Every structure is written in C-alpha cells, then in structure tokens.
Amino acid sequence: MVDLELSSPTPEFAHTEFHEVITKSALNKVPEASNMPFRWSINPYRGCTHACVYCYARGTHEYLDFNYGEDFDRQIVVKVNIVDALRQELKRGKWDGQTVALGTNTDPYQRAEGRYQLMPGLLAELGKAGAPVSLLTKGTLLSRDIPLLRSLAPEIPLDIGVSLAMIDPQLTEIFEPGTPSPSARLKLIEKLSSAGANVSIMAMPIIPWLTDSINAMEQLFSSVASAGATSIQTTPLFLRPGSREWFMSFIQSQYPHLLAGFQSMYSGRIYAPARYANKLRAKTRQLAHQHGLGIGAVHESEKDPDVHFRTHLPIRPVNSRPTTTQTPGTNQQALF
C-alpha cells in the first residue's frame, strides 16, 4: 500500500476517519501452518467500526502506525482499488483454485462498506473466476448482496456465516458497540435462509463468566435455530497481543470483580485452557442436537454449491450501554 490519503469527513461518520489507499494486491496467501481451512483471504478494509472489545485483529493495526485501541475502531484503511487489483491477480493466475475467505481479519460489511461498496465487485470477480467463497460477517448490509449471492450460487461453492455470540442487547452494546443489534442479525439470518442459503453461525467468542451461562447459550442456540440457521460453531475467547491489553483494560474498567479471573485463565496463554474448551465443545454438541443444528464453521467449503444454497426454506419465527447500576451478565449462572 502507498501513503494514506484521508477522505472527506461526512456527518454520519463524525468520529471515523477513512484513509484511502491504492493496494498492489487483493489476495493474501494463508500459510498452511496456520491450520485454517482456506488458503486465500481478502480484506478490503483495515480496522473496523464494529469496535468489538475482544477483536483478535486489533494488534495488526500497529503495523499501520495506528494503535490497537480507539484507532482500530475509528481509523479505517480502505483499499479503494481492490476490485481492480483482484481482477488483475486473477488474470495473472495468482489464485490456485482454493477457497477464498472474506471476513477473516476485519468485517467486510462494516459501516464503511455502505460508503465504498467494494463487496459486490469482489464477489462478482470471484464468481467469474469460479472461486469458492467463504464469507463471514456481523454486518446486516450483507442483505443488499443477497440477489448477487443467489446468482453466484449455481456457479461456485458459497459458505455464508453470520457472527453472533450473544443475544443480550445490553451486553452487545457494551462489547460490540458498533455492530447491528442481535435482533437485526437474526433478521439477516431469516433473509438469507428465506433466499435459500444454508447459514452457519460463528458464535465467537464465548466469554467466560459473561456469555457462557446455561441460559445465555440456550437463548443463543434457540434464537439462531428459529431464524433458520443450519449450523453453529462456538469458540472460547482468545487474546492475542494488542487484543489482550485492550480487553483486560476494559474488564478492569467495567467488570473489575472479574479481572483476576481473566488474568488467571489467560496467564501466559492466548487460548482458553483445554478443560474449558472441551466443556464448551460438549455443551455445544448437546445444544446443537437439541435445536437441530449442525456443528461446523464457515470456511469449510463443499464441492457442491447446492449444499450451501437451497431452493427454498420457509422462515420460522424468531424469539423475540447499560443505564442501570447493575452490570449486565454478572448475575448469570456460569456454565463452568
């Protein structure tokens, strides 16, 4: 990328700055050693207005001379020529036929996409090339592109995932202040399902002591199943450098009584202890079976595109910053 160029501010993004860049490459090769189920990724944006406190990509913003805190949420880098860059790379034969994942680092349907509209062009180019696509988002703007996805489904394998790990609107406002509400994301799942998509739910992260209670998980599984999701994958909170510091500082400010627990659980480690992860995996299997959901992540493409887009699936009904001194989530019965 070349030097950052600041775009003109607009009222709807009063606290956000967009830095428009010309990128030389759209496709990022994912090392096999990463154990990820895809070999290529595309990230049209760096930084993310979703502002999720726990976001694992926060540390990468320091590569751009921004900080992993508020800069990550407000200083958004936009690869304005990324569609053209992808087109040229596909013509040169850079792509080797394996799955291309979007939504692996920052959300491709964050608020910036409403302004720059890069995703339709990217999807169209991948469709022309016959590239299997894996897409993950919290952004309800994805509904804009449902007709395009539907048209691509007969031609390429499509994995479509919606990221939703908490149903409590107060907790969502605290931990994911820039995201669409849980109810809005449930409506997105309904729309995708009605259009014929098999929708995977990425319930990541499950946060110890806050979103891992029996009641919270039951409500999550019940809600996404009722909305028409077909599978779900849960992942415990993990804290990479940058993410760890920001998350722990936030917990100290908002949930000081939980700080020692988080520090102990993640002492000297990025990932939750195996015992916790195994218990979460067992509970996931139980709830998934109970609600008729498969278990699996987005980014696990099939050869047959019909596996991911059906002719029709009827919509089923959806079950329908704190202002009080009580902190949301702290009265839940813990799962572990």
The pLDDT of residue 142 is 98
Residue type, 301: S
Q: Is the distance from CB of 246 to CB of 53 less than 8 angstroms?
A: yes
* Helix 274-290 with 214-227: angle, nearest 10 deg: 40
Residues contacting residue 323 through CB under 8 Å, at least 6 positions apart: none
Instruction: Please give the model's pTM, rounded to 2 decimal places.
Output: 0.85
User: What's the residue count for the chain?
Assistant: 336
**28-49: average pLDDT:** 88
Amino acid 114: pLDDT? 96
pLDDT in tens, 288-316: 999 999 998 543 333 333 334 443 222 22
* Domain residue spans of the chain: 1-96, 132-237+272-336
CATH number belonging to the domain at 132-237+272-336, selected among 2.40.128, 3.80.30, 3.40.50, 3.40.1840: 3.80.30
